[in-house]
Amino acid sequence: MDIWNEILLRLRELEMIEWLTFGVNALVFLFSKKIASSYGEVKDAEKMNARLRILHGFNLVVFLAFVVSVAVQSPGSETSAAGAHTAANFSQSCLILLIAYLLIHLAEALLLKRYGQAFTVMGFTRRVETSTSRTLELLAYTIISLVTVILLFNIWAPSALQTTGAIGFIAVMIFTTKDYWMRDFISGIILISNERIQRGQVVAIPSEDVLAVVLEIRGLQTSLRDLVRANDLTLPNSIFLRERVDIFCENPGGPFRDYVDFKIGYGATADQVQRFLKAVHLRAAEASQGMEAESGPKIALKENGDHATRWRLGYVLTKPEELLVVRDAVNLAAYEMQEEFGLDLSTPTTHVVASDNASSSSTPSSASITGSADNS
């Protein structure tokens, strides 16, 4: 009986905010399954289980903090009161983070329902994000995050807010951290608003040596799938506004086109080169599903150089993400068919060394035809 009396005595010493924290935590735990299945863009078992694990993790931490607060509570003891105060602060902090987590996902679900666009695939309709919903989501994330930080400071360092006030605190926090996030955050809003770069598009960023598919544009970073290395990567949003970005997609001017350049020596006739490039285009189209064969090749002489001519084989891509695969198919077809058309895809000899006593000559050798695909 003494133990139970001690527990009841300690429970009476708890403040109202601690009981409120315990009650809200208990409600979230009881309805966690319903909460996890009620928000989010995709409602599958794997994602719902992940949300449940996050919610139950918060529940466990808040409950343990409550237990610690009760355990160290001892009426009349300053040491136990300090320990109980720390445990209560920790419990309240976890609860605030839990509520912020729920509010962020609630805002995402509501904005997606209100401003999202219906998209049907194989008879299944789901709502996908639009520029308006993504922009409003970023603003909602910002507001919720700022309020969360203010509440946490009010718990652990109330004197900081008493000195500057909430608005002053926000201003100081933004000013001191703006170099780390503001440029990328504003860039993210611009990217989402103008809709020039969207999910699923293939983009190339020459300065970063990146050719990738856009997976998602977030508040500060953009996630991509590298087509060369087949790995995921993230880049700051500001790069997409600061650097040159090539977007490979269909546009009002027609389908997406790509090309491969060949350097061919002056010994070949124009008709010979054109027949060769047409045959290369046909074989590459048969070997790759990413090239459109019906539209035919676009062949042009682009440059008369000092030692060779530069011919361009242009073609239409049906799948921009197959860009590298199609280029490889074109190069392979050219290599395999060079002898059939009497061509030699080797580097031309531009200098001949006759002997030790003779100087080098700058006259091109009789090496017939050369070629080189420009895959850059």
Residue 235's CATH number: 2.30.30.60
Q: What is the pLDDT of residue 350?
A: 60
In a domain, 46, yes or no: yes
Please indicate, yes or no, whether residues 275 and 188 belong to a single structural domain of this protein: no
- Using the 3D structure, point to which of 227, 249, 271 is the last residue of a domain: 249
pLDDT at 352 over 60: no
Tell me if 134 is assigned to some domain: no
Q: Measure the CA–CA gap between 331 and 260, rounded to whole angstroms.
A: 8
Residues 206 and 326 in one domain: no
Give domain status of residue 198, yes or no.
Answer: yes
pTM strictly above 0.75:
no
Task: Give residue 365's pLDDT band: very low, low, confident or very high (50, 70, 90).
Answer: very low
Task: Mark whether 227 and 258 lie in a shared domain.
Answer: no
The reply to whether 107 and 212 lie within a common domain is no
Same structural domain, 238 and 275:
no
pLDDT tens-place string over residues 230-246: 889 999 999 999 999 98
pLDDT band at 272 (very low <50, low <70, confident <90, very high): very high
Closest listed residue to residue 139, CA positions, set 245, 215, 61, 219: 219
Tell me, yes or no, whether 117 and 19 share the same domain.
yes
- Output the domain CATH number for residue 294: 3.30.70.100
Task: Mark whether 264 and 239 lie in a shared domain.
Answer: no
| Total structural domains within the chain | 3
Residue numbers of the domain that contains 310 = 251-351+362-376
Chosen domain end from 249, 266, 281: 249
Residue 33 in any domain: the answer is yes
Question: What value does the mean pLDDT take over residues 270-295?
Answer: 90
The verdict on 245 and 261 lying in the same domain is no
Residue 347 CB partners (closer than 8 Å, separation 6+): 370, 372
Is the pLDDT assigned to residue 10 strictly greater than 90?
A: no
Q: Check pLDDT > 50 for residue 197.
A: yes
Please state, rounded to an integer, the average pLDDT across all residues of the chain.
Answer: 78
Cα(313)–Cα(321) distance, rounded to whole angstroms? Answer: 19
* 225-239 b/e (C-beta count within 10 Å ≥ 16 → b): eebeeeeeeebebbb
| Same domain as 185, residue 86 | no
> Any idea how long the chain is?
376
270 contacts: CB under 8 Å, gap ≥ 6: 301
Q: Could you tell me if 232 and 299 lie in one domain? A: no
Q: What local confidence, expressed as pLDDT, does residue 167 receive?
A: 67
Name the percent of the chain lying above pLDDT 70: 75
> Letter for the amino acid at 344?
D
Q: Is residue 142 part of a domain?
A: no
Query: What is the predicted pLDDT for the residue at 367?
Result: 35
Mean pLDDT of 201-205: 91
CA distance 81 to 90: 14
Please check whether residue 260 is in contact with residue 375, taking contact to mean a CB–CB distance below 8 angstroms: yes
pLDDT grade for 284, boundaries at 50, 70 and 90: very high
- 168 and 80 in a single domain? The answer is no
The whole-angstrom separation of Cα 211 and Cα 323 is: 10
What's the CA gap between 29 and 304, in Å, rounded?
75
Pair (265, 334) in one structural domain = yes
Domain contains 133: no
User: Is residue 140 domain-resident?
Assistant: no
State residue 234's pLDDT score: 93
At which of 207, 222, 249 does a domain end? 249
Q: Does 139 map to a domain?
A: no
